[in-house]
Amino acid sequence: MTVHRPRIRPRVSAANYMRLHDAAKKPDASLSLIVDKALSSYFSYERDDRRDAKLIRRLDLMTRHDYRHSRDLNMLTEAFSLFLRYFFSLAPDIKEGEQDRRQAKGALHFNNFVDQLKTQMKLDGRIMKLALADVMATEDQYFTKEELELLAKLDGKKFKKITAKKVKAEAKHVSA
């Protein structure tokens, strides 16, 4: 009993037509079988999986960026709160006669601060990150085990050379 299979008549480019006929010349191959396999491949989930893998990689990257931004924001918030605690613990009491003068001076200082902040943000706005980069050490700044072993070998050779020079100098009663 034969299974009824629908017939289609698609139009393809001349190059694909030639390649299709060349492939159909092989044993156990036919035009219908090749087109059916091609359509199965086209409608398979592999194409969707490749697209989804790209999306997942992008979402992962965005998640890592979001984590870094959250960490930086938390750090800045904590630094600012420590600054405020320090500032308020050292702020002197203001006498009633000096309040107007101090408010005007405070407004002037605040406007100066805002102008400096605006200038810095126009440049690149990375003062805190640069300051932290100067203080924080990353793993790539430490020696690896192999580098430490190499340094130990080099220091051992250098130590032997220095000791030999010192012995010769002492034999001649000359300081090294």
User: Do residues 22 and 35 both lie within one domain?
Assistant: yes
Whether residue 98 is contained in a domain is answered as no
Q: Which two tokens stand for residue 32?
A: 């219908």
Whether residue 101 is contained in a domain is answered as no
What gap in Å lies between CA 147 and CA 84, rounded to an integer? Answer: 45
Averaged over 127-134, what is the pLDDT? Answer: 69
Q: Which two tokens stand for residue 157?
A: 């050779």
User: Do residues 55 and 121 both lie within one domain?
Assistant: yes
Whether residue 104 is contained in a domain is answered as no
Q: Determine the pLDDT at residue 112.
A: 86
Residue 101 has pLDDT above 70, yes or no: yes
Whether residue 119 is contained in a domain is answered as yes
Residue 174 has pLDDT above 50, yes or no: no
Averaged over 78-83, what is the pLDDT? Answer: 86
User: Do residues 36 and 66 both lie within one domain?
Assistant: no
Residue 135 has pLDDT above 50, yes or no: yes
What gap in Å lies between CA 38 and CA 44, rounded to an integer? Answer: 10
Which has more pLDDT, 147 or 103? Answer: 103
User: Do residues 123 and 150 both lie within one domain?
Assistant: no
User: Do residues 85 and 54 both lie within one domain?
Assistant: yes
Best mean pLDDT range from 32-36, 124-128, 148-152: 32-36
User: Do residues 24 and 84 both lie within one domain?
Assistant: no
Q: What percent of the chain has pLDDT over 70?
A: 80
Residue 167 has pLDDT above 60, yes or no: no
Whether residue 7 is contained in a domain is answered as no
User: Do residues 123 and 152 both lie within one domain?
Assistant: no
Residue 67 has pLDDT above 80, yes or no: yes
**What confidence tens digit (pLDDT) does each residue in 15-54 have?**
999 999 999 999 889 988 999 888 888 888 877 788 888 8
User: Do residues 129 and 67 both lie within one domain?
Assistant: yes
Whether residue 4 is contained in a domain is answered as no
Whether residue 27 is contained in a domain is answered as yes
Residue 145: which domain range?
Answer: 141-171
Q: Determine the pLDDT at residue 175.
A: 46
What gap in Å lies between CA 110 and CA 102, rounded to an integer? Answer: 12
User: Do residues 78 and 20 both lie within one domain?
Assistant: no
User: Do residues 26 and 55 both lie within one domain?
Assistant: no
Residue 171 has pLDDT above 80, yes or no: no
Structural domains in the chain (count):
3
User: Do residues 115 and 130 both lie within one domain?
Assistant: yes
Lowest mean pLDDT segment, chosen from 33-37, 103-107, 123-127: 123-127
Q: In the chain, what is the greatest distance between 2 CA atoms, to the nearest angstrom?
A: 112
Residue 172 has pLDDT above 50, yes or no: yes
Whether residue 1 is contained in a domain is answered as no
Alpha helices (H) along the chain? 14-24, 31-43, 45-90, 99-123, 127-135, 145-171
User: Do residues 78 and 55 both lie within one domain?
Assistant: yes
